[in-house]
Amino acid sequence: MRVLLAEDDPIIAEGLVRALSKSGCTVDHVTTGIDADNAVASAEFDLLILDLGLPRLPGIEVLKRVRARKSTVPVLILTAESGVEERVRGLDAGADDYLVKPFALPELEARIRALVRRGSGNPTGVAVGNLRFDTVERVVRYRDQLLDLSAREVALLEVLMSRAGRVVAKEQLIERLCGWGEEVSPNAIEVYIHRLRKKLEVCGNNIATVRGLGYYLEKPRDDIA
């Protein structure tokens, strides 16, 4: 899951980036409203966490612009004020939920899970054969057995499973994995795919390589019939 965090308070931002990354999300972090608006316009995100008190363009204006472009990205607003008015304005402008600072991380995580659940067409997850991706817990199970995967492997498998049988370009996988702060090379993707393929062997799911194009998750034989 790719999250855009628009927050200018370095301490709050650092805590959020750490917590979200730990739970397997790819986080892009911006500190101004202008940067947030540009980011949403230029890349696809699964969630926008938007501080309303942002420099250069207030969060509420960012939200209005995002919705004016017909973007349906779920938006969770963060507000320093406990006033009802600001929250109402945020929700009226198209936010899906809000949190008043200071908040506890577990509460934020619970709100995110609820938003993602609401936003995804399938509330429990994606299944390919006996492989099941749980979008709430962000884990993958094979016949109810939890697979031991790294956060990056989970992120890769999420994309591959949601498009099972269809080719996903290597560039798309790279984009999925890298926050702007870190580089993921094409070679690194090959290594991740190699490891993931090994871990999926026991499940009978294979990740096929399409030379020069990308990868796709083969549907298991018992699934085709």
DSSP β-bridge partners for residue 207: 217
Instruction: Work out the number of other CB atoms within 10 angstroms of the CB of residue 73.
Output: 19
Q: How far is the CB of 99 from Ca ion (least distance, A)?
A: 13
Question: Rule CB under 5 A: is residue 86 a binding residue for Ca ion?
Answer: no
3 — phi, psi (to 5°)?
-115, 135
Q: How far is the CB of 52 from Ca ion (least distance, A)?
A: 7
Nearer to Ca ion, 31 or 71 (CB): 31
Rounded to the nearest 10 degrees, the angle between the axes of helix 151-162 and helix 170-177 is: 140
Within residues 110-139, the interface with Ca ion by CB under 5 A covers: none
Q: How far is the CB of 25 from Ca ion (least distance, A)?
A: 21
Q: Round to whole Å and give the CA distance between 129 and 118.
A: 24
Question: Rule CB under 5 A: is residue 53 a binding residue for Ca ion?
Answer: yes
Which pair of structure tokens corresponds to residue 69?
């472009």
Q: How far is the CB of 121 from Ca ion (least distance, A)?
A: 33
3-state helix, strand, coil in the chain (%, to 5): 45, 20, 35
Piece of 6-14, 66-74, 157-165, 173-181 that binds Ca ion (CB under 5 A): 6-14
Element (H, E) at 146: strand 145-146
Q: Round to whole Å and give the CA distance between 66 and 58.
A: 13
Judged by CB under 5 A, which of 51, 96, 158, 218 binds Ca ion?
51
Q: How far is the CB of 119 from Ca ion (least distance, A)?
A: 25
Question: Rule CB under 5 A: is residue 175 a binding residue for Ca ion?
Answer: no
Q: How far is the CB of 23 from Ca ion (least distance, A)?
A: 23
Which pair of structure tokens corresponds to residue 51?
């501080």
Question: Rule CB under 5 A: is residue 8 a binding residue for Ca ion?
Answer: yes
Nearer to Ca ion, 53 or 204 (CB): 53
Piece of 7-15, 118-126, 146-154, 173-181 that binds Ca ion (CB under 5 A): 7-15
What contacts 128, CB < 8 A, 6 or more positions away?
161, 164, 205, 217, 219, 220, 223
Question: Rule CB under 5 A: is residue 58 a binding residue for Ca ion?
Answer: no
Nearer to Ca ion, 12 or 91 (CB): 12
> Applying CB under 5 A, which residues contact Ca ion?
8, 51, 53
